[in-house]
Amino acid sequence: MITEKTKNYQTRIIDEKVEEQLDAFGAVLLRGPKWSGKTTTSEYYANSAIYLDDYDRQEEYEMINKSNVGAFLLGESPHLIDEWQTFPKTWDAVRRFCDRSPEKTSLFILTGSYSPKQGNTKHTGSMRISTLDMETMSLWESGESSGDVSFISLFDRHTEIVGKAKLSREGVTKAIVRGGWPVAVLNEKKNPLVYGKQALRSICSTDLKEATGVEVDPNTALALIKSLARNITIPVKNETLISDMAESGNPVVESTFYLYLNGLRRLFVLRDVPAWNPNIRSATSIRSLPKKEFYETSVACAALNLGVDALSKDYITRGYFFESMCGRDLSVYASKYDGALSYYRDRFKLECDFVIHLPDGRYGLFECKCGDGFIEEGATHLNELEKLIRKHRSENPNVHMEMPSCKVILTDGDLAFRRPDGVLVIPLSCLKP
């Protein structure tokens, strides 16, 4: 039955997880970048709500927070508490309510656009409050993928792979610049960069202050984000970022750098993709520094003032940004199956942009390449890494290590196919979960 509540709702991949967790826990926390759709999704499942970031009611809410924080919990279940971290005591109140209520599931939905600093809550909420990470829209969710190829089918070596991309190369560039913000997807403008610029302005002017709890310098914040954008998808050392900021005219002391960097992590502007460290080379050969990835390529584009035309003309930078968008989509699709992302790189220049591990032990190797001329390079990397794994298995028969279930090159091309060497060439805009 279509109701006022359901007729305009844009379904999200995370929906199934929300339903599953509500059925199992007293409360579910949806956290992720601002404007990623957390509130809209939560409203879809909630029967009542309170919005703690409502600035028109901040004075009232401040008094409630001091006298009786339990008032924030009043409402028909599931009750939505939006931006709970505005008043951190709410977390412990929810946890206590879940402990004492005869009903043990589907009591609350919480949303959070940043993680409060450690110590602001007294209890983890373990086994009472389930946490789900929500991202901006993947190409499948935004309707920009044909869905001809299923992500999970890639891990089945016998699946026939046939598909056609929905986006042209120009369309892929536009999606990189615009981002996956629901408001951007549903209200496209002539200049797709406007959404990333607005997000960047908010991060530097107000959001970072909220996340860190201290006054921040917007120019220093912007300088850091610019440096991160220039090093997008690269496992860069923090010392390099500090040096880069100084060279650009924005010197920063180490303690301030880490304050801002951790603030960007808490805001879900930045994520660390860990290095995969299989025992296939000596420990000193494998690079273990995490990649600092943007949740949203549009923010990185805005920081460097890269619109569609500028990014189209800089094919090297576009390749890095395409890899970052691939990481977002792979993260969204893998989360449906509780998969985990990492990457591989060693001192012999053998690399793999993303390694995705599934809970059942299967894993896949993914390279991201723009332009048909780089597909062979990506296939060489994947085949060499597979060969190294096979050699390790033969030399260490008592050490169990599975062979990769798939070798995939994600592209901005138009056709999906399987190469004679087993490498799958898949346009990003024909993938679905």
Specify the pLDDT at position 117.
60
Nearest-angstrom CA–CA distance, 276 and 192: 35
Strands 406-411 and 108-112: unpaired
Strands 270-273 and 291-294: antiparallel
Task: Give buried/exposed letters for 80-90 (b at 16+ CB in 10 A, else e).
Answer: bbbbbbbbbbb
Specify the pLDDT at position 124.
52
Query: What distance lies between CA 210 and its chain's CA centroid?
Result: 21
Specify the pLDDT at position 288.
84
Contact indicator for 366, 233 with CB cutoff of 8 Å = no
How would you write the pLDDT of the chain (433 residues) with one tens digit per residue? 344 565 678 899 999 999 999 999 999 999 999 999 999 999 999 999 999 999 899 999 999 999 999 999 999 999 999 999 999 999 999 999 999 998 889 999 999 988 776 555 555 555 689 999 999 999 999 999 999 999 999 999 888 899 999 999 999 999 999 999 999 998 877 789 999 999 999 999 999 999 999 999 999 999 999 999 999 999 999 999 999 999 999 999 999 999 999 999 999 999 999 999 888 877 667 778 899 999 999 999 999 999 999 999 999 999 999 999 999 999 999 999 999 999 999 888 889 999 999 999 999 999 999 988 899 999 999 999 999 999 988 888 888 889 999 999 999 999 999 999 999 999 999 999 9
Give the pTM.
Answer: 0.93
Contact indicator for 28, 18 with CB cutoff of 8 Å = yes
Query: What distance lies between CA 389 and its chain's CA centroid?
Result: 28
Cβ neighbors of 128 (< 8 A, separation 6 or more) are 25, 26, 27, 94, 95, 98, 99
Specify the pLDDT at position 96.
93
The 3-state secondary structure of the chain reads CCCCCCCCCCCCCCHHHHHHHHCCCCEEEEECCCCCCHHHHHHHHCCEEEECCCHHHHHHHHHHHHHCHHHHHCCCCCEEEECHHHCCHHHHHHHHHHHHCCCCCCCEEEEECCCCCCCCCCCCCCCCEEEEECCCCCCCCCCCCCCCEECHHHHCCCCCCCEECCCCHHHHHHHHHHCCCHHHHHCCCCCCHHHHHHHHHHHHHHHHHHHHCCCCCHHHHHHHHHHHHHCCCCCCCHHHHHHHHHHCCCCCCHHHHHHHHHHHHHCCCEEEECECCCCCCCCCCECCCCEEEECCHHHHHHHCCCCHHHHHHCHHHHHHHHHHHHHHHHHHHHHCCCCEEEEEEECCCCEEEEEEECCCCCEEEEEEECCHHHHHHHHHHHHHHHHHHHHHHHHCCCCCCCCCCEEEEEECCCEEEECCCCCEEEEHHHEEC
Nearest-angstrom CA–CA distance, 16 and 236: 36
Nearest-angstrom CA–CA distance, 273 and 259: 20
Nearest-angstrom CA–CA distance, 96 and 108: 12
Cβ neighbors of 336 (< 8 A, separation 6 or more) are 13, 16, 17, 151, 152, 433
